[in-house]
Amino acid sequence: MPIRVIVAGATGWTGSAVARAVLTSEDLVLVGAVARSAAGCDLGEALGGSAVGVTVVATVEEALRTGADALVDYTAPQVVKANALAAISAGVAVVIGTSGLSADDYAEIDAAARAKPVGVFAAGNYSITATLMTKFALMAAKHVADVEVIDYASAGKPDTPSGTARELAERLSAVRRPATSKPVNELGGVRETRGGTVGAVQVHSLRMPGYVLSCEAQFGASGERLLIRHDAGSDAAPYVAGTLLAVRRVREQAGLRRGLDLLID
């Protein structure tokens, strides 16, 4: 039986690519689309094509009334947690593609999902190559003590750090060795220039025109450096396959799982 999918953020950069992929999939069926700006329109027409028989609604709560197996969220940082909790309450699994959630937010979502019980999957980046960057960085952190994360994005990106950088820093914090650099709280001058602390890793976010999305882990050892970096292209295609993989497997386990490497290994 096909998996019934709702896409929230269905007219956005990544959400529209995911929605189109669900529409052409043999084992998935699009039963709902959420986009406040296009509410009342047929999704296909809202995306500049022919009608597909799916009417866009303004809220996730409206879409959930259709009955679904999984919600894919590519919306905005200020609404993603509420969307996820609404889906969990309705017994619908959630795939979170929106960045901006904190560790506390994820803990709340995990607790709600376990209590229901419902599966939730989240990744800072659903690109296979970005997932490999994280995997390689985690390997390096076991051998090189000093590591910091730098993320780059367009001037208009609404959250900092990026979901990719936040997830990378949190996961590096769990495996890294103690840094040899002087602790930030012992520094003089303008401490903010050392970036923000996520877990046990310093993260630096650059927001400027000319960037799409990039993230790098910089490792330093005596007399040498290692740079592991991912650069995103100009379209959303790299994120579609990973998102659909998560949709197909999110219901395997109750509670929250994070990191696409859990599925590709």
Tokens 């996520």, located at residue: 198
Residue 173 belongs to domain with CATH number: 3.30.360.10
Is the pLDDT confidence value at 103 over 90? no
Range of the domain at 227: 128-231
Q: Are 221 and 137 found together in one domain? A: yes
Q: How many domains are contained in the chain?
A: 2
Q: Are 87 and 202 found together in one domain? A: no
Q: Are 18 and 33 found together in one domain? A: yes
Is the pLDDT confidence value at 265 over 80? no
Q: What is the pLDDT of residue 159?
A: 87
Is the pLDDT confidence value at 203 over 80? yes
Residue 118 belongs to domain with CATH number: 3.40.50.720
Rounded average pLDDT over 102-119: 96
Is the pLDDT confidence value at 194 over 90? yes
Nearest to 86 by CA among 48, 59, 52, 58: 59
Q: What is the DSSP letter of 83?
A: H
**Residues above pLDDT 70, as percent of the chain:** 100
Q: Are 251 and 163 found together in one domain? A: no
Q: Are 133 and 122 found together in one domain? A: no
Q: For residue 165, which phi and psi values (nearest 5 degrees)?
A: -70, -40
Is the pLDDT confidence value at 244 over 90? yes
Q: Are 29 and 103 found together in one domain? A: yes
CA distance 62 to 56: 10
Is the pLDDT confidence value at 100 over 90? no
Q: What is the pLDDT of residue 218?
A: 98
